Amino acid sequence: MVSDIDMPDMGGLELGKRLHEEGGGPYLVFLTAYLEYASESYILEAYQYILKEDMKKRLPPILRQLIDRVKKEKQQFRMIGTPTSKVRVYYRDMIYIEKEKGSKYICYITEHAIYKERISLKKLSEKLESDEFILIERGYIINVSHIASMKDGMVLMDNGARIFVNRISFKKIKEQISLYRGICNGY
């Protein structure tokens, strides 16, 4: 979504705050003549902040880049369910995947639902063709884009789940985060 920062009734930052509070939402591109709002737009995790004086030069390539990113995300999903009833679950919505204890099923944990599938974690990790997933011990695949923090052998996911990992996996996760963020930012 492209929005001006300064608008009557509800400004772009207020709109961004509401979308951010609802969780997720569209990519935000802010346009403004005011540089002082840039830091607040980053807190809202805006995709870009463009000064109006740079708009003709910066907006077209940013929109092309964003369209390409959204198209790619739309292609990254997994069909889960029975042959007669399948659900499309997008990679970006998968917070983590865990092996169900004492079962041959795994559970896909998303913000709004839990989906089950009969497949091994190892086989699934081979099928997930994305740098945002990492297989860790104790029966988990985590989505690095949903990591809220990491400390003392624990990974806190953005839904509040706490996943404990050993030192080797902890280091591997940090490396994967760096790799994933570098790819996402075009490095």
CB within 8 A of 79, min separation 6: which ones?
Answer: 86, 87, 88, 89
Please, what is the average pLDDT of the chain?
82
Where residue 153 falls (left for φ over 0; alpha for ψ -120 to 50; beta otherwise) is left
| 73-126 pLDDT tens trace | 667 888 888 778 888 898 889 999 999 888 889 999 998 899 999 998 888 888
Whole-structure pTM over 0.85, yes or no?
no
Query: For 66-75, 90-99, 150-159, which range has the lowest pLDDT when averaged over its residues?
Result: 66-75
Q: 84 vs 75, 91, 120, CA distance in Å?
A: 22, 22, 22
Tell which wins on pLDDT, 81 or 56: 56
| 2-14 pLDDT tens trace | 888 877 888 787 8
136 bridge partner residues? 140
Q: Are 143 and 133 in contact (CB under 8 A)?
A: yes
Q: What is the mean pLDDT of residues 117-140?
A: 85
Provide the 3-class DSSP secondary structure of residue 138: coil
Residue 184 has pLDDT above 60, yes or no: no
Return d(Cα 130, Cα 139) in angstroms, integer. 19
Strand order in the sheet with 29-32: 2-4, 29-32, 48-51
Burial of 140 (0-12, 13-18, 19+ CB in 10 A): buried
Nearest to 109 by CA among 141, 138, 156: 141
pLDDT at 179: 75
Tell me, what DSSP letter sits at residue 76? -
Q: How confident is the model at residue 15 (pLDDT cuts 50, 70, 90)?
A: confident
Q: Could you give the residue ranges of the DSSP H alpha helices within the chain?
A: 12-22, 38-43, 55-75, 121-127, 167-184
pLDDT at 14: 82
Return d(Cα 37, Cα 78) in angstroms, integer. 39
